[in-house]
Structure 1
Amino acid sequence: MRMDGTYFKQFCLISYQDHHSNYTQLIRFSDEERYEEIKEDLQNLLRLGLKIESMTVDGQKGTLRAIREVLTETKIQRCLVHIQRQSLIWLTNSPKHTSAKELRKIVLLISKISTHNDKIAWLRQFKQWEIAHKSYYQQKSFNSETDRYWYTHKLLRRTFIYIKSAIPNMFHFLDDEAIPKTTNGIEGFFSHLKNHLDIHRGLTTEHRKNFIKWYIYFSNEK
């Protein structure tokens, strides 16, 4: 199963989809992806009798916490595209320092990992980068406003920690072809939904939600 959220001006739509059939099992309207609500959704999916062997998600902290608490035996697959996309945002398109340039090259390889050999080679590069640049990304500077020392290269360090913390859940798809390595399928669904909804821009918030419900209903009937 894959799970993701998308934002409209008035609300956030959270959707849970079967990867193979693209069938939408459950949706929720909210203002953001909240731990309490996602936990409730997962519990409801279990009550419906679904056996969820894996969940491919973007890595939002509340989502990960909810899955670990409710689906204790379920494999969590982090979406590789989300990891790559967020890392590139923090590193920017044109980083200046060598360490950031090298890490950016490693990040660009994430979405290309498709075999165990790719995984081994990528992990080796990432570890080599960590060793070579540890002293740089851990540098601290004194901040006179807060009267304390803090990391000088915050975004570089944040990118490194973000990727390293995701590694345990990045490669389940290599051992089970039934596990999608990205949430691209559900993002494509969101894109088509928004294109259809844009035609009816004058709808009230409630009518927009009803439109989405009907759209999903007929999509599931295909």
Structure 2
Amino acid sequence: MRKNGHDRMGRQRWQCDGCRLTAGTRNNTKRRRTQLAQFLDWLLEAAPQRKRTESARNFRKRVDWCWRLKPRIEPDGVVHRTVMADGTYMNGWCLLAAVDGEDGEVLAWQWCARESTAAYKALFAQLAPPDVLVCDGMKGILKACAQIWPGTRIQRCLVHVQRDTRADLTSRPRLQAGRDLKRLADTLTRIHDADTAARWGQALNAWHERWKGMLAERTYAKDHPDDPRAATSTSGWWWTHLPLRRAYFRLERLFKDGTLFCFLDPTLTAQGPVPRDSNRLEGGLNAALKRMLVNHRGLPEAHMRRACEWHCYMNSAKPDPARILKQHDRQSKPRTDQDNEPDMTQPTLGTGIDWNEFHASTRYPNATE
């Protein structure tokens, strides 16, 4: 084949020296970019396919190749002052996400089976250490932060603290001590300065001085042989008001270690306000992910996860679907019939873990090679 001029659209034409037949080249890049844009509009819009003229089946067949694209956020080394991290569960899987605490842009994500230390370490390894991490305070995220970001301060989400207290005391505590403690916990989100926080700590200490005798009460198995706890108690006794003790000592521990009112530290607020809850992540990204899956209910599991990845990528700082398409075309190879399903392997960034290996070791711990 040799070059044989151009067609009226300016595209190169070729001619065979043997049979003298000519043929032109067709650039599919523009068409593929248009289809990718239509695919993302359909995937991320609030009411998919209501304004589309073609049938849903034809549209799905036309953009089916888009499911094979694997979006990812490249680590840029930018230091973010505050980062929010949390996990949301869907269809048996957990998606860990980290967003900027100031504008809510998605910084990284990681798939896992549960919110474990290994999963959060893989997430944090993709980012530069921030000044403050706003989280719900689960053991996995705290341990991972201490190992990956040892110099990062922790701000416990005050809304999660209130929820944990309500879970222990119920919404309508039966005892007066529980009603007083719940009232203290409910005022956490109304504290805006250091003086009010100090008075809150004094009120918590006064509550303990008043009810410490009640917290120390024990119930002995010999006095209640019919209680189910008598058969399982190894010490022969248990705390009479265990939920009340758990709620109080949680608040006391958070107040003493400085994670309850970290957002009031002058050294941190000198550069701007620090979030005191993770509502920007919970009500922003996580809620939008759930709405998207409801709008597209019935997707296969692999497509559900890929849809979540696209949603996270399009809410990052500089989303560029054309770059993802270009990278895919550069790295693509001839596919066989058995490769028709999209590859859902989680990309490993930095010191992250291989998704398949992590899935086998966490969800199926007894799996063999």
Give the TM-score, by structure 1 length.
0.93
- Verify: 1:87 aligned to 2:165, yes or no: yes
Paired residue for 1:26? 108
2:183 maps to a residue whose letter is K
- Corresponding residue SS for 1:44: coil
- Corresponding residue SS for 1:14: strand
Paired residue for 2:347? none
CA distance in 1, matches of 2:274, 2:149: 16
Return the offset for 1:185. 0.2
- Verify: 1:127 aligned to 2:217, yes or no: no
2:245 maps to a residue whose letter is R
CA distance in 1, matches of 2:109, 2:246: 32
Return the offset for 1:150. 1.2
Indicate conservation of the 8 Å contact 1:56/1:179, yes or no: no
CA distance in 1, matches of 2:132, 2:260: 12
* Offset from partner CA, 1:67-125 (integer Å, 9 cap, x none): 11221111111111100111012111111111111101101101111111210111111
Return the offset for 1:201. 0.8
1:12 maps to a residue whose letter is C
Unaligned runs of 5+ in 1: none
1:97 maps to a residue whose letter is L
Paired residue for 1:37? 119
Indicate conservation of the 8 Å contact 2:129/2:152, yes or no: no
1:197 maps to a residue whose letter is L
Give the TM-score, by structure 2 length.
0.57
1:165 aligned to which of 253, 256, 268? 253
1:55 maps to a residue whose letter is L
Return the offset for 1:17. 0.8
Matches within 5 A, 1:173-188: 173-175=263-265, 176=269, 177-188=272-283
Considering only aligned residues, what root-mean-square deviation do their CA atoms show, in Å? 1.5
Return the offset for 1:19. 1.2
Matches within 5 A, 1:62-141: 62-141=140-219
- Corresponding residue SS for 2:219: strand
Return the offset for 1:25. 1.2
- Corresponding residue SS for 2:150: coil
1:199 maps to a residue whose letter is N
1:200 aligned to which of 269, 286, 296? 296
CA distance in 2, matches of 1:124, 1:195: 43
Indicate conservation of the 8 Å contact 1:59/1:78, yes or no: yes
List 4+ stretches of structure 1 deviating above 6 A.
none
CA distance in 1, matches of 2:251, 2:171: 18
Structure with bigger gyration radius: 2
CA distance in 1, matches of 2:107, 2:171: 38
CA distance in 2, matches of 1:131, 1:67: 34
- Corresponding residue SS for 1:129: helix
Paired residue for 1:156? 244
1:119 maps to a residue whose letter is A
What is the identity percentage for the equivalent residue pairs of Structure 1 and Structure 2? 27
Unaligned runs of 5+ in 2: 1-82, 222-229, 320-369
CA distance in 2, matches of 1:51, 1:86: 28
Indicate conservation of the 8 Å contact 1:10/1:205, yes or no: no
